[in-house]
Structure 1
Amino acid sequence: MNLRLFGEMQLRAAGQPLEVGAPRQQAVLAVLVVDAPRPVAIETLIDRVWDEAPPAEARNVLYSHLSRIRQLLGRAAVLEEAAAPRLERRHAGYVLKIDPDRVDLHRFRRLVDQGRDARSADADRARALAEALDLWAGSPLAAIPGEWAGQIRDSMHRLRCEAAVRWARVELRLGNPDAVIGVLPDLIAEYPLVEPLEALLLRALHATGRDAEAIERYAGARRRLADALGTDPGSELRDLHRMLLRGEPPQTPPPDPGAPTIRIATPAQLPPDVAGFTGREAELRELDRLVLAATGPAETVVISAIDGTAGIGKTTLALHWAHRVASQFRDGQLYVNLRGFDPTGSPVIPTEAVRGFLDAFEVPPERIPVGLDAQVGLYRSLLAGRRVLLVLDNARDAEQVRPLLPGAAGCVAVVTSRNQLAGLVAGTGAHPLTVRLPSVAEARDLLARRVGPERVTAEPEAVEDIITLCARLPLALSIVAARAAANPGFGLVVLAGELAGAQSRLDEFTGADPATNARTVFSWSYHQLSPAAARLFRLIGLHPGPDLAAPAAASLAGLPPGAARPVLAELTRAHLLSEPTPGRYTFHDLLRAYAREQAEGTDPEDERRAAVHRLLDHYLHSANTAVLVLEPTRDPVTLAAPGPGVTPERFADHRQALSWFTAEHAVLLAAIDQASSAGFDVHTWQLAWTLTTFLTRRGHWRDNVAVQRVALAAAERLAEPATRALVHHHLARAYYRQGRLDDAQSHLLRALDLAAQAGDLVVEAHSHVRLAMVWERREHFAEALDHARHAATLFQAAGHRPGQASALNDIGWYYAHLGDHRRALTFCERALAQHEELGNRLGQGITCDSLGYAHHHLGHHRQAIVYYCLALDRFRDLGDRQEEAATLTRLGETHLTDGDTDAARTAWRHAVAILDDLNRAEADRLRARLRELDQESKPTEVLPTATDRERGERR
């Protein structure tokens, strides 16, 4: 059976074509196939199939399509008389189980990956890339409408061009220019602006002595680029042209461009080792073999899949072993709790985990791509050539883990799960390791280490009773040991009696599964708590997770922070909570489920809702304080006063505020979902509002879109035009950062309508500012100027002075791009005076940069240099490296035009040093200019950089 996505979608089984249905059904099948074997949530399917306008009955229609797809796969199975793809419903969504090599798109990707492998022989790489190119039978998903399908088409066209360039380079190195000449002209006809293809064709023609034809092709390429882009060919094409004119001999093409070089940190994410670890010698020896395998002659990635029942000590084993061998992994250790069995039902999705790892390596947000595949590619590139240990804890299934696995030899990944990860073992060669219950002797050693060998020796029968009543489960034994250690005067026989009494009260809940029997120990230990600790334990079960800080726990319980700390300490001593990092608490998901169960059975609903209200108040007011520290000029929103018993956090400076957002990132996302599901609609949209600055600056584009969409649903329920306008505006801003300009424009137009209804001049003005940015990105500067003028008028009517100053600069900036540089100076000078009066240093820097740009184009080079230097002073004071690099780039252009090539080199070298961390394409562009400068020093027209298009986002 084969499924074709290139061109018209086709499904063939036993040589027969099968009807794949109407375009909508094809779209559903395509989403499942492209993401296979990852689960696809219902909401994701709806978004990708219907974009932003799903019908009211979208779910029912979707279920009908899924039913017909199952029938289609069933017919394929009958025809094949063998195993065929199947559609499965999982906790995280729908999964299509299909052999990737049966899908042309996946086979294409695999072959291109083989062609990228520089360790393979050139002949093997050429064969793989040629096979990949032969699979192309037309644009992918050709008959499927919608933005998602368009994005897939765009990415596959880019991948096709990359494959063609790599293939041609390899063939030329192999001495096969005729093969290149036979293929590239047709590809260039499809992609006339892809200069590397033209350059390789010129090399092939030159290698076969067809120099005149090559010179003619260069002239054609130059005309195309001038007509389409208004630019000359790049440095490689120009160098080849000069080589042809001089009659120089053919040269071997340069090697394939390597992966981007990113300066990365050495992560050390392992939680603390467990004190008093004992036993598990056989399992530790088995894990030790992994390190030997990772450094052996095979040089492979080594993966261990540790499985076992809940509470049996999988995480404890993995972390203890990881600490034992951490020193052998010089490039760092990564850890993530995937929360596969979290009772709140919110496991970590691969996108979150990969992004967390990229943050651990301190990859600048500007260098992190948007899509999961691209992020995984960057993550694996970082691991290549490095020795890193990964602990992937508490996985639900193999699909959750696969994107997180390294592709680099010498790395070791240890995965823990309650499930046997058979798919991981079969698909990746993982080493399975099932953790069994400890022996009676090992259980006795655990107790001896925790309570002291003398007590264990003195009361052997009580010890045996405790071991039996705990079903030898390490989690349960640890809790009992904690109580014994905290009460040295208690005989173990007393504790065993109490435990037996608790078990008799819970007989109906116990079973053969040791994890179920752990409920007895939980109940017994819970009933030993003080009333304050028992109440806090229950309330923490209502927290959305994955962890919480001490101040949040205090607000949850309505306690002063000082009163909450001893209660948290009591829960920690009882092993009902753990403190993996100072001041942050979590607990085992079995305990979380038990705590929630106790809260629902003990505390009235109004008290539980009041606790959740206090918690959301805590996060909202803390986040609001933090965001105004990060962005003091941001227009505030009006919050209701925090309820009684809520103590929001305070932040002394920018660093503290950013650290708080970083630590609470996952918690705040979960809190927004909890607020939405619990009907706290005002908290929902206001929490999303507070998160926008952090998510934007850290590059969490996907999270920002997700929270703003939840916020929009809440705002629609509130039916307040001003609120809806503001949320539409922020959702548009999130879409803009993802490059989804049509979506951004649609929501901005809606924001304008609603703001006008509400009489909110400020939101209306900001929406015009964003619309100007959308048109600027499309290089429609007249439209951008029109919106900037509207914004200035509205800001003035509202008396919003910071907005007025920024809008004046925007008007000047767009006049400059329309060629009216004198008028640009007039507006930008007014803007600068207002920014100086307001003390807005970022606004001053951006406006000085605009003034420098206008003076440059008027030939006032000395004035341009002065303004650029003033801008640099502001940006360096603020630590804004992105703006600094953009201004350095333009400063270099001005120095060059003024004839000072040494100063131009200096400015560009400083810019390259910054852009290597922020924007590799811009860094490479400047390197090429520096190389040209070494050959010929002539003034060139200053062009807008990619960073120019991001400037408005910083205002």
Structure 2
Amino acid sequence: MEVEAAGAPVAIGAPRQRCVLAALAVDAGRPVPVQTLIDRVWGPEPPQRVRHALYVYVARLRKVLGSAGSGGHRPAVTRRAGGYLLDVDPDRVDLHRYRRLVARTREPGCPAADREALLRQAVRLWRGVPVADLAGEWPARLRRSWAQEHLDTVVAWADATLDVDDPTASIGLLTELAGQYPYHESLAAALMRALHAAGRSADALHHYARTRRRLVDDLGTEPGRDLQSVHQAVLRGDAPRPVRTPAPVPRQPDTGIAPAQLPADLSTFSGRTDHLRLLDAQAVPIVAIAGTAGVGKTTLAVHWAHRIRDRFPDGQLYINLRGFDPTGPPVQATEAVRRFLDALGVPAERSPTGLDAQVDLYRTLLADRRMLIVLDNAHDTTQVRPLLPGGSGCLTVVTSRNQLTGLVAADGAHPMTLDLLSPDESRQLLAGRLGADRIAAEPEAVDDIIASCARLPLALAIAAARAAVRRNHPLAALAGELRDAGARLDALAGDEPYTDPRAVFSWSYRALSADGARLFRLLGLYPGPDIPVAAAASLAAVPPKHTQVLLTELTLANLVVEHAPGRYSLHDLLRAYAVERSESEQERRAATHRLLDHYLHAGCAADRLLSPYRDPITVAPAQPGVTAESFADAQQALAWFTAEHECLLAATGLAAATGFPVHAWQLAWALGTVLDLRSRWDDWLRTQHIGLEAAQRVPDLDAQALAHRLLGRAHLRLNRPEQAAVHFQRALGLFQEVQDRTGEARVHLDINAVLQHPDGYRRAIGHAAQALDLYRTAGHRLGQARALNAIGWSHMQIREYRSGIAYCQQALAIYDDLADRSGQASVWDSIGYGHHHLGDHAQASRCYRHALDLYRELGYRYPQAATLDRLGDVHLATGDYANARQTWRRALTILDELDHADAPRVRAKLRALPDRRTWTLAALSRW
């Protein structure tokens, strides 16, 4: 921002002071309310004594401006009722001179040469980025708004150059701006018209191809009708002409009353602070607010409109387009435009006939006005587009249950999708309606109510209304009514359709295609927090490509949310509604069977890549309609397990609860490797309990043996050796009963791990030796390697280090032959331990680092920490305290992340290290 006097710059002062001047200058000659100035300069969170600060800045500005100019031309800041006014000739402010020049081109009968000259002058007034030296939301909003205004003017000037046969004049600027705004279709069309008129038709076609490719690749949309028309005209060799703005018609006599059609603001409005901040920061002329039924789109739009209505002195227009109203069809564009023309003072007898003529008149009347238009509850973009103003001085706010992607892509609307309220916002809503004291008195009941209402504003408002009329009832009673998921929608039923979640949901549901409605119903069966496309395809027995189309339909209807690429979710109340609408019991069971087959077969396939030498289980063929998952390598398999973690846990529980016990224990088995690898031992324990109970219901002794063994391993990981031993003994008996020798061998190795304490090392060697004999009898080479490693490690615990290393080297030879990196890492760690205690610290360090490299490649977290712990011991033994500290800190970071019982022991090692000053003295003494 610059101020000049007699051609010389004038120092304006501090940034806030400059912002105050800018806030006055944009409305030069008009009073600006104090609150508006505060909002512009300080934003939504002004300091406590903000009015005093404003007075100080105004006083300083008066002194600064007193030296600018001379005589009657000196600008001044004067007090007006409720605000301040910058008393200056508007032509002395570039912005207003710019707009005056543009406005003159719209006067009836303006000659083409004058139009081009005026627009050229306006374009040349644009120098760099406006108010670039001002920070904050309001200056940023101005920059975006003025940038769009500048683009409109450049396009108008470029078109005017065609009328005076000087198309080359604008090509340079248009090319520069097209590079900055590659998706701006009006700019692209203007450049194509200028290039074609200048005899460069090939360049025009090339620019169209480049623009179309960007729109399709980046936004997924084809060019709009106007740009396509220019393209066709160039192909035909015609002279494409710009679409002219209709000539202004004389306004009706001013009644002195600006339209003020906004509905009443909600006095208890709360929350949505981040959304309001984002809305305040927008400077685009169209905002499209989308969201599911009952999420509060209208409430937010109306509340924000009341907050900003002072920015639009020419009034506010509002219409409910009834896009999803069960009482009748959506409002037609002809009716909506006619109502807006009425509000703008156009008598019916003066209104033109035909929609196009009425829209032209509507846009002409708004061309030089600053108005706020709220288009509520729109069904689609087609219903909205005729109601969009043509000028840049108006703001249009659209709400819809559908994602109006066409409005975003073709009309430059800023999209905003409303999600459910946060827990804190939900409490604020309830407190605003029931009082903070009542909410604070029963915090647990309030949390239950919020959870039962799925944080949906409509449901919370209904629950609050119920509690308000039952003042003597505790909130716990209402929470109890809402706790039953099956009856929750009944408990929230309102006394009219607009306040009944079931009725409100039904309006969106009825608009779905038959296939979309079926998928929505089946999604109610899904147990996880979100569902990927492949699982949804299996659930519905529909090919994935068609499933994606159906999920897109549900997303556009805001019945599901794509909260991450390819993953969809729906909130609990919509899930309850989907269950109410669900299929027959036979269809529900078939869909559940397909879903469980999907996760079981995918889980087993992924597990084979993570643990290729693990003995597989026998899984029944998948049901028809199940979509198969495939993985290229272990990394992809691990990524799938990570993405599906919560869903796999939920599927295991669903299998047990819905009469699929075989799926339940097999899913628990399939999860064993990855839950151990990712150190999710509490989850491992829970799923194995489910698996064991399911195996006992089958009944299947082999399955029970596997489940007992894995449950024991989970207990062992959680440092519960006594509980682990109980399950290992039961597994050993079952494997012996079914004569599974390799199963027996595995359990002997598990018992070896339980006995890793001073009183148990020799018994541990005995169990590992039994395992080795069983594995050799079965010809199980991988098992032999594991047993040899276990024997070697146990020998080292009784200080038989050379013997232990020899056993481990035998194990390493087998692991190398099998290319089993996990086994290799474990043996290198064991051998490193032996060399450390033999005093060969260099060799120990090399072994440990080799093990660490393998564990990192595999993603094994706890083994990394254990090896780092032992490597730190090597550094300590050599007096390398700095590396010991660094290594133990790395180990401790992992252990803390895992909340592992080893963390306090490593932390104690760190505390026992000498401080840095002691290290220095020790080093000096050696020198």
* TM-score normalised to structure 2 length: 0.47
Structure ranking higher on relative contact order (CA contacts 8 Å, 6+ apart): 1
Higher radius of gyration, 1 or 2: 2
